[in-house]
Amino acid sequence: MSGDEKIPDIVIGRLPIYLRELRRLQSEGGKPTTSSRELGELLGISSAQIRKDLSHFGEFGKQGTGYHINYLIDQLSHILHLDRIWPVALVGAGSLGTALAHYDGFAPRGFEIRWIFDNDPGKIGRQINGIAVQSLAEMAETVARHKIQVAVIATPARAAQEVTNRLVEAGVKAILSYAPVHLIAPPEVQVSYSDPLTELQRMTYYLGK
């Protein structure tokens, strides 16, 4: 990284997209290199934008030969702190939480759900994909003891802010929430949302009646 330059969030947000596409190219096993032009065509992003984004972090390619796919994957993984597995606490063991606990797409991309919390006595103690559901009352202590930094919220909307407060107080630094509500957290805590309905509603703006 060139000094203490503050890199725009929107640039950081594109790095996982580049990484995902590079891994796809790698898994196809066709060739060792790619170019900003090829990546740009695959991703619908201009090649100039890709070169500019990557230039924030160093020189990864050469005029003429392009980027070595394996090398760029290693570099992007390192920049995003994905050269390790992040253990994740999941809060909410309803149908969505259960589906997430069974989802096999986390581990290959650097995350592993290791703890599940719920406040429903009917769920506590049950195993989901090999993980025993713990009581919400145990959450703060478990998070602090294991220094858990990443959490996924799959609770109903009305519970999500209270859960966020308790996660933050216990030391969590990054929260992905599936609850359809805006969460308030201190600026040093990252919060992201997965709400497919806001995506669908954005798109219908562009559709006729």
Contact 82, 109 (CB under 8 A): yes
The single residue listed with the structure tokens 């570099």 is: 75
**Least separation, in Å, of the C-beta of 64 and a copy of itself?**
26
Q: Which of 46, 55, 70, 99 binds a copy of itself (CB under 8 A)?
A: 99
The C-alpha atoms of residue 33 and residue 73 are separated, in whole angstroms, by 11
CA distances from 3 to 7, 57, 78 (A): 11, 10, 17
Contact 161, 185 (CB under 8 A): no
The C-alpha atoms of residue 192 and residue 108 are separated, in whole angstroms, by 20
Q: Distance between terminal CA atoms of the chain? A: 49
Give the binding range for a copy of itself (CB under 8 A) out of 29-37, 121-129, 162-170, 186-194.
Answer: 186-194
If one asks whether residue 49 binds a copy of itself (CB under 8 A), the answer comes out as: no
The C-alpha atoms of residue 110 and residue 46 are separated, in whole angstroms, by 28
Enter the tokens of residue 143: 């998070």
If one asks whether residue 4 binds a copy of itself (CB under 8 A), the answer comes out as: no
Q: Which of 105, 121, 122, 130 binds a copy of itself (CB under 8 A)?
A: 105
If one asks whether residue 43 binds a copy of itself (CB under 8 A), the answer comes out as: yes
**Least separation, in Å, of the C-beta of 63 and a copy of itself?**
25
- Which residue spans within 25-97 are E strands per DSSP? 33-34, 61-62, 66-68, 86-91
If one asks whether residue 147 binds a copy of itself (CB under 8 A), the answer comes out as: no
Q: Which of 38, 114, 149, 166 binds a copy of itself (CB under 8 A)?
A: 149
Q: Which of 20, 31, 52, 146 binds a copy of itself (CB under 8 A)?
A: 20
If one asks whether residue 96 binds a copy of itself (CB under 8 A), the answer comes out as: yes
Binding site for a copy of itself (CB under 8 A): 12-13, 15-17, 19-21, 24, 42-44, 79-82, 84, 86, 88, 95-96, 99, 102-103, 105-106, 109-111, 149-150, 152, 157, 173-174, 176, 180-182, 184, 190, 192-209
